[in-house]
Amino acid sequence: MMTKKVAVVTGSAGGLGRGIAERLLKDGFSVMIHDINKEALTKTESELKDLGDVASFVGDVSKKEDQEALVAATVEKFGQLNVFVNNAGVEAVTPFMDIDDKELERTFKINVFGTVYGTQAAAAQFIKQGTSGKIINACSIAGHEAYEVLGTYSASKHAVKAFTHVAAKELASKHITVNAYCPGVAKTKMWDRIDEEMVKADPSLKPGEPFAKFSGEIALGRYETPTDVANLVHFLASEDSDYITGQAILVDGGLVYN
Ligand SMILES: NC(=O)c1ccc[n+]([C@@H]2O[C@H](COP(=O)([O-])OP(=O)(O)OC[C@H]3O[C@@H](n4cnc5c(N)ncnc54)[C@H](O)[C@@H]3O)[C@@H](O)[C@H]2O)c1
Ligand SMILES: CC(=O)[C@H](C)O
């Protein structure tokens, strides 16, 4: 009997992470969903359980010990680890001159330190198992371009892209691939908050206008859904992507071209 492959998706109580977890369950993975928000995570786990083998783990990606415990709990529950999706992330919306220590620390601790800790914990497990493995990071169009009032966030996603390249180079000899998905504009709770903060930063804007302006520039004429992102992560988690590593792939409907 073939053993089922096992995936972890961080920050998957809602938004893009939940969409990714759903898709990987449909693909036949056993999936450990994970989030800092226990209540939302428990609800999501019960909603996903009919799709396949799902379990949940509450943790904070910015804490190295939590990331290690997440991998340990996954292996204890499902016997191995094959795919680790560093999806959890937070936004920061502030005019450049007002960026402060608190914002820099929070954003970098979650988006950058979290990705590094998750990658280290997953790679250590793949090496211990003596198997190949796939690490898949959440980057963004903001990791390719830089956007006004999104300076801290853009810088954090550029750092995620750089760590994706470096980890891919260093881990290739262990048959571990490291890639990133770079979504454009998806209507999740993150964009609800970005919209609200952009309106606060520029009172000439009305609620909904920042989202409409960003998504209005998408060549394919509609904003992104979690399914659009999950379709790419499905590919990056599959054997079809075995010869791809170190890439930060845009999945944005035609918004950023590089
Ligand atoms: N929504 C977009 O348009 C968009 C575009 C590009 C990239 N992204 C990236 O995709 C990822 C998911 O975005 P989303 O829109 O679904 O966000 P979201 O805010 O809707 O969901 C993020 C989830 O991560 C969890 N989380 C936050 N901090 C955490 C922590 N410290 N530890 C564990 N979990 C934590 C939240 O509780 C939440 O459930 C993020 O990395 C984001 O930067 C989103
Ligand atoms: C939230 C995000 O990464 C882009 C700017 O939509």
Interval 23-32 mean pLDDT: 98
In the CATH hierarchy, which top-level class contains the domain 6-186+224-251?
A: alpha beta
Which pLDDT value is given to residue 3?
84
Q: Is the CB of 44 under 6 A from ligand 1?
A: no
Q: In the sheet that 30-35 helps form, which strands lie side by side, from edge to edge?
A: 54-58, 30-35, 6-9, 83-86, 133-138, 176-183, 248-251
Distance 150 CA to ligand 2 centre (A): 9
Q: What is the mean pLDDT of the chain?
A: 98
**DSSP string computed for 114-177:** HHHHHHHHHHHHHHHHT--EEEEEE--GGGTS--TTBHHHHHHHHHHHHHHHHHHHHHGGGTEE
Which pLDDT value is given to residue 212?
98
- What is the per-residue pLDDT across 97-145, written as a single tens digit (0 to 9) for each? 999 999 999 999 999 999 999 999 999 999 999 999 999 999 999 999 9
- Let me know: does 185 contact 214? Beta carbons within 8 Å: yes
Distance 88 CA to ligand 1 centre (A): 5
**Residue 153 designated active-site:** yes
Of 153, 223, 243, 257, the active-site residue reads 153
Q: Which residues are CB-contacts of 116 (< 8 A; sequence separation ≥ 6)?
A: 163
Length of the chain: 258
Interval 220-233 mean pLDDT: 98
Q: Is the CB of 133 under 6 A from ligand 1?
A: no
- Cα four-point dihedral sign 115, 117, 118, 123: positive
- What is the per-residue pLDDT across 199-215, written as a single tens digit (0 to 9) for each? 999 999 999 999 999 99
Interval 205-231 mean pLDDT: 98
Between strands 133-138 and 176-183, the pairing is: parallel
Distance 98 CA to ligand 2 centre (A): 20
Which pLDDT value is given to residue 230?
99
153 is annotated as contributing to ligand binding? yes
Q: Residue whose CA is closest, atom 3 of ligand 2? A: 140
Which pLDDT value is given to residue 6?
98
**DSSP string computed for 198-241:** HHHH-TTSPTTHHHHHHHHT-TTSS-B-HHHHHHHHHHHTSGGG
66 is annotated as contributing to ligand binding? no
Residue 27 has pLDDT above 90, yes or no: yes
- What is the per-residue pLDDT across 39-94, written as a single tens digit (0 to 9) for each? 999 999 999 999 999 999 999 999 999 999 999 999 999 999 999 999 999 999 99
223 is annotated as contributing to ligand binding? no
Output the ligand 2 site: residues, CB below 6 A.
91, 140-142, 184-185, 190, 194
184 is annotated as contributing to ligand binding? yes
Q: Is the CB of 15 under 6 A from ligand 1?
A: yes
Distance 14 CA to ligand 2 centre (A): 16
Q: Residue whose CA is closest, atom 5 of ligand 2? A: 142
Percent of the chain exceeding pLDDT 70 equals: 99
The number of the ligand 2 atom at minimal distance from the alpha carbon of 186 is 6
- Let me know: does 78 contact 32? Beta carbons within 8 Å: yes
38 is annotated as contributing to ligand binding? no
Q: Read off the pLDDT band of 1 (50, 70, 90).
A: low
Q: Residue whose CA is closest, atom 9 of ligand 1? A: 138
